[in-house]
Amino acid sequence: QLQLMESGGGLVQPGGSLTLSCAAAGVNVDGYGIGWFRQVPGKEREGVSCISLTDGSIYYANSSKGRFAISRDPTVYTVYLQMSRLKPEDTGIYYCAAAWVRFRPISPITDMCTTSRPGDVISAWGQGVQVTVSS
């Protein structure tokens, strides 16, 4: 019964920056991983970056490495995705997602963000925010 509320997004020029936020509310929140999946028309949702609220472990997709930074504020169960040096291919709808990771197999954050079947892993979705990178 987790609820995710995300904010941020918007229109930014190539090379610019945006920060997304996702706040989680519910029971046993610190047992979840939180991250973002990006969706482009005609394609499946793909993991961008995820972080564990249990131990802080992090995963970045190859396209995000070196440009994005994910962090958590455990006092308010909020996760931030700082996006820099944005490219047009970063454009899409970014959905905050939660998956139960405590007591799961080793590397659950990697599994969460790389799953080919999000419906089998993700237990809650945010409403999605649009990120558009264009001049």
pLDDT on residue 1? 81
Provide the residue-wise pLDDT of the chain in tens; the chain has 135 residues: 899 999 999 999 999 999 999 999 999 999 999 999 999 999 989 999 999 999 999 999 999 999 999 999 988 899 999 999 999 999 999 999 999 999 887 789 999 999 989 888 999 999 999 999 999
Burial class of residue 51, CB neighbours in 10 A (0-12, 13-18, 19+): buried
**Residue carrying the six token digits 């993700």:** 122
Joined together, the tokens standing for residue 120 give 């089998």
Residue written as token pair 């990120």: 131
Q: Measured between alpha carbons, how far is 132 from 90 in angstroms, rounded to an integer?
A: 8
* Residue 35 and residue 51 in contact, taking contact as beta carbons nearer than 8 Å: yes
> For the chain, first and last CA: distance in Å?
40
pLDDT, position 74: 80
Q: How far apart are CA 47 and CA 10, in angstroms?
A: 19
Instruction: Region of 116 please: left (phi>0), alpha (psi -120 to 50) or beta.
Output: alpha
pLDDT recorded at residue 119: 86
pLDDT of residue 104: 81
